[in-house]
Structure 1
């Protein structure tokens, strides 16, 4: 039985990513009885099985929030091995270490485990069918967790972005809008852009409320839009609408197939 006076200890992997940095900004210094340890790839490589297990045995954690992932969808299509090494094999080692040390794993997954053909929002119980290598690697990571562990939360999210950190659609549009007269953005995909701040708060809620109904969950900001709609929203809220022209550009081709509609149903 955990001493109530002892802080809840939380390991956050992938600390240099947009979600890891957001969690750090919001909660690294807190009076919530939570003690965070943030580790980047340089200090904690999830693809190194022995190093992971040693680290977990030497440092006791109540929770591990896994923000470490290979997220370059285009490169994953060209060199799948890299994506699978991090998103699948690395997650397997992490799950084994968590299992052995009785650590609850909160793992961040993606809407790209679905094919995008469903007309209604995807529920956590819908059967995944990824159409690109990135989605396949993330799905295999989910499957490893389910095979190895009982005490886990797999949180699938959609079109994740941070206004402050990382390379993402939000920050790219802002950067381009200040330099270019026209922006060509597709309106052929539907999803729910999700702010890392809101996902961070959701994750914290799982920990603070000591939830034990483990399994797969969906979290997004719930507002359904296309990339074009999202770009328009970004320009409006940053008062850049009159500085650049937004054009629906559906000739933009990508190497990796993308789900046409990857809207997630967030309430089960």
Structure 2
């Protein structure tokens, strides 16, 4: 894993900072990051996925710039504009006036020689936070062979970088001719929706679909014999869909 940047992200506002690390530090960090398992991962767009997700917490989605998947849209926003993203200058920038940490996700940007990129997201939990603690720091003495010096460094506010239990990842191809531009992998489905508070976003996708169902000009066609479908009591239908996670998933993915 060739980690080139570390991001700290506010999942609600999508605001992010780059945490400054040297190339050597990034290499050492990459050795500690646990590669997430893709065992039992299912295709989110497959018709059987609603049932599959009752037993599997992992899924993947492939798409391009015009794909309508809320997961890809969320992750795209995090991986774009990194050249304009500011470096973190002070830990104070991460807290509100009540000294509460506003940033809850760490992102590791991985870049390949061919220009493809990947972003791996890990939740920054309360167990990662440190406050008013002393740490033993071991540093090698310059020009002293295997000798080392030890000092105690006091941390007022800080956090340990999470390196396991990956939340999600996004892979972005540079060359669109090689296949779908994006591939999102969600390793913890329910936690992902909770961390990014996706319910409102999902409902927006449902609303868009229902608008098409209610329009006489852009009705949705289903089945091989091209049956045109439309609904009249959209308000009642919307309430029913919102109350059922399976129906929400079905309607927000209609193309």
Greater gyration radius: 2
* Interval containing the TM-score (normalised by the shorter chain): under 0.3
Q: Could you state the TM-score of these two structures normalised by the residue count of structure 1?
A: 0.24
Q: Could you state the TM-score of these two structures normalised by the residue count of structure 2?
A: 0.25
More strand per residue: 2
More helix per residue: 1
